[in-house]
Structure 1
């Protein structure tokens, strides 16, 4: 289904979906990763921790998994948590090479700083040769630093990435986790919890129908829950299958 064919009110809800956070990450079997990230983000909220050494012991965290398993959501959540804590944050991806240049210019100062800084790197598997070299240098800087925290994500485990051997080896020096897709029952459970948190009552046939007929990825399904909530309040009607069909009917 193409979002351009959706009714206006739903398109607006998609564009105003909640910011990514660790609390709204829909965890399947990624409890160790989520617990580790929660502990780090909690430390950033403590003013005293801003004068402490890197709790990762000069290492990094890399997670990998299939598309739709929440890789980017977690990186965005880390970015948002850092910004909320007033920590300088750098978000890198293959599509924005100038951001890498700006970061490399600041690495020496960041490595010597007493206050923490955060780097996130998405789609490591798509880095070209130039950016692979940049990431290798950045990781060297992180190793030499006191308080740089770097988080990276890609589609495969370090050993299976089609990248330079020295970078693949270097990625494996850190903490490595795997993100996994939710199965249908987990998706339904997560969507039910999201609806309950909004005080939204869904008829039993709504969620199975959405999984069969609508997007199967969780970001769009969660955005639809928000849209249904708003549409139900607007029309003063319960969320039944006819209302869902009406909402999704192109206008």
Structure 2
């Protein structure tokens, strides 16, 4: 049985806990903090990588708990240095060691890094600081908790891959989870925008039919192109969310959407 820890969007502890229980068989949640969950399961790492509602996931190798005033990173490094830890890799590869303090990458003294690299180097693991096969992460939180793990996933730089205001895939996935998806759902997103929600529903969950629309023609065209590239078929068209009379009563079973709150808060009036 593996122990994992995964990070997620803060403030969604209960939603993430429920999503994990539904997605992973025989899971036992050991600990849940704001934005981080620790759990045990017989599921192998490949399946954990496929959980789209997490930001990043790791095999847990060691952990510490200190006071908020403690130097958690130093405490974690000291503990890892003093115990024997087996790195679970499936084949010969290279590794690098990274350090994070309160969600920001940090450096440590060269002699500390070299000592840790020497500790974990073996015939199956060689050091490569620039283009490694696996990454070992020391993560220190502001609440005094520290985690050392083998990284399983890394999402891309959303500043480069997402448009301004576009939902992150993890959040879109969790919103779909909240709708309790079934294979009989007729699903609608009337404020589809760049398509994060309907695409996530089509990729990750069962459905009977999906409708997605937006009032902006360019967004509709872009969403059609995205759906085509993914090989997912759902009904996309220009749609005014204030006038949904094109749909008959009771024809839609689930609506999940992300209204343009920024526009509403700008002071414009809508009838």
| Higher RCO (CA < 8 A, seq sep 6+) | 1
TM over 0.5: no
Q: State the TM-score, normalizing by the size of structure 2.
A: 0.31
Q: Which has the higher helix share?
A: 1
Q: Which has the higher strand share?
A: 2
